[in-house]
């Protein structure tokens, strides 16, 4: 799991900002928000334009290193902080896999261009690559049982990448060694690779409530058996959308989903925006490979507050191992009924992230009305 994340000189974050998933407050209630002493369910509040979306994008940046595929549409010219003279953004990830602590640190000149990268395992530097000065240190590859890897082949690969049309594209050594080494099944690198490739982010924009026909067709393929349709129906009912569903084949061979009443009612033409947003959540998260880390930006934008609570409860019950970070403006969710003070955070206009339990001199207890305290200004200096 991810223990800590830090980024600086990225978009609106000029100074370092940290998410400390391993900093818990010792509360005994809502223990489902914590997994192996690491925060697994987190809510982030913040005024408009404090960078909640950018924080998610920064967290997902590591995905590009491992796949070479942009997680988001490339945004040229707005990657680095506009008020900084530093030439690179710095990213620091600290993971915990059983008894192993893995740190992956890198700097980037742009989304695709690395300045340097470093991997540290249990305090030992495994490798360091500086792509600007062409200085490399591969002396501790034996600690990950990769000391027989052909380093010259990697260095030749860097030259090939640099000679191609897009010379601002880097070849991270971490990605290369995972893809070009026969690693054991329990290799720490494979654990790291698996975690990163299962990181995901959902935003209001990426949800896109209006979809082309092919989106519906692909979703119908998922539902085209009795168990899958029942699972989706159960999911909607748990979320508070009381319904029965029916999937039928039309004369032209296409499929159509209906709400089941005395007369069948077309699903997509009549479902509310909140219900449609649940479909995107269901497709991305509940179908197929489970996410390791999920960042949900404005996750409840189309939800009634009770549905938003149901979503959080569902995640806590169904996905205890998945680290889920949700951003919201909904203060109804700032409650000890479903969360706890060490899992509720405020992102300030200054670019700091502070847990509610660290935002006041009071000792916050289960009986405190956190929403009322927030609205009355108890945590204002951290906004």
pLDDT at 211 (0 to 100): 44
pLDDT at res. 163 = 63
Give the model's pLDDT for residue 94: 99
Q: Are both 6 and 136 inside the same structural domain?
A: yes
Same domain, 217 and 195: no
Q: Is residue 262 part of a domain?
A: yes
Do 223 and 231 touch, CB atoms closer than 8 A?
Answer: no
Domain boundary among 147, 178, 200: 200
- Pair (75, 148) in one structural domain: yes
| Euclidean distance between CA atoms 146 and 325, whole angstroms | 34
The confidence score (pLDDT) of residue 205 equals 52
Q: Is residue 312 part of a domain?
A: no
Same-domain check for residues 73 and 136: yes
Q: Number of structural domains, the chain?
A: 2
Residues 6 and 105 both lie in one domain: yes
| Residue 333 parent element (H or E) | none
Domain termination residue (choose one: 229, 261, 288): 288
Co-location of 185 and 233 in the same domain: no
The predicted pLDDT at position 169 comes to: 74
Verify that 72 and 167 share a domain, yes or no: yes
Contacts 24+ apart (CB under 8 A), 69-74: 70/111, 70/112, 71/201, 74/111, 74/112
In a domain, 319, yes or no: no
Residue 68 lies in a domain: yes
Tokens 């953004």, located at residue? 89
Domain ranges, residue 284: 207-288
Q: What are the tokens at 366? A: 């289960």
Q: Going by C-beta distance under 8 Å and a sequence separation of 6 or more, which residues neighbour residue 246?
A: 257, 258, 259, 260, 264
- Residue 364 Cα distances to 27, 156, 293, 355, 358, angstroms: 10, 57, 28, 11, 9
Whether residue 46 lies inside any domain: the answer is: no
Q: What is the pLDDT along the chain (383 residues), one digit of tens a residue?
A: 999 999 999 999 999 999 999 999 999 999 999 999 999 999 999 999 999 999 999 999 999 999 888 777 655 568 999 999 999 999 999 999 999 999 999 999 999 899 999 999 999 999 999 999 999 999 999 999 998 899 999 999 887 766 665 556 789 999 999 999 989 999 999 999 999 999 988 876 544 444 445 556 778 888 887 788 998 999 999 888 999 999 998 898 888 999 999 999 999 889 888 888 888 788 777 665 678 999 999 888 878 888 889 999 999 998 899 999 999 999 999 999 999 999 999 999 999 999 999 999 999 999 999 999 999 999 988 88
């Amino acid at each position: 799991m991810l223990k800590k994340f830090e980024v600086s000189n990225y978009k609106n974050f000029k100074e370092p900002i940290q998410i400390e998933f391993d900093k818990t407050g010792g509360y005994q209630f809502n223990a489902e928000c914590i997994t192996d002493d690491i925060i697994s369910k987190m809510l982030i509040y913040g005024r408009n334009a404090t960078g909640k979306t950018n924080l998610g994008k920064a967290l997902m940046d590591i995905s590009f290193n491992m796949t070479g595929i942009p997680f988001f549409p490339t945004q040229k010219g707005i990657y680095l902080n506009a008020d900084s003279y530093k030439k690179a953004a710095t990213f620091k990830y600290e993971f915990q896999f059983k008894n192993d602590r893995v740190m992956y640190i890198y700097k980037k000149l742009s989304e695709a261009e690395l300045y340097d990268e470093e991997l540290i395992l249990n305090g030992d530097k495994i490798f360091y690559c500086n792509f600007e000065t062409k200085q490399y240190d591969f002396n501790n590859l034996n600690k990950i049982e990769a000391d027989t890897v052909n380093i010259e082949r990697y260095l030749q690969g860097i030259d090939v990448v640099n000679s191609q049309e897009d010379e601002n594209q880097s070849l991270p050594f971490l990605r290369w060694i995972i893809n070009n080494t026969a690693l054991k099944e329990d290799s720490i690198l494979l654990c790291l690779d698996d975690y990163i490739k299962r990181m995901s982010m959902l935003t209001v924009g990426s949800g896109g409530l209006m979809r082309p026909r092919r989106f519906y067709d692909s979703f119908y393929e998922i539902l085209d058996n009795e168990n899958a349709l029942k699972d989706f129906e159960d999911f909607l009912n748990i979320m508070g959308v009381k319904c029965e569903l029916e999937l039928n084949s039309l004369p032209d061979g296409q499929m159509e989903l209906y709400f089941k009443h005395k007369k069948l009612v077309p699903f997509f033409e009549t479902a509310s925006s909140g219900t449609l947003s649940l479909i995107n959540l269901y497709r991305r998260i509940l179908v197929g490979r489970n996410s390791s880390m999920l960042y949900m930006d404005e996750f409840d934008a189309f939800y009634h507050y009770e549905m938003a609570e149901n979503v959080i409860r569902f995640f806590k019950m169904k996905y205890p191992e998945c680290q889920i970070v949700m951003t919201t403006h909904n203060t109804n969710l700032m409650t000890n009924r479903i969360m706890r003070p060490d899992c509720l955070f405020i992102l300030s206009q200054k670019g700091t992230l502070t847990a509610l339990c660290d935002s006041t001199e009071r000792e916050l207890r289960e009986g405190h009305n956190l929403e009322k305290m927030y609205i009355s200004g108890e945590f204002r200096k951290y906004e």
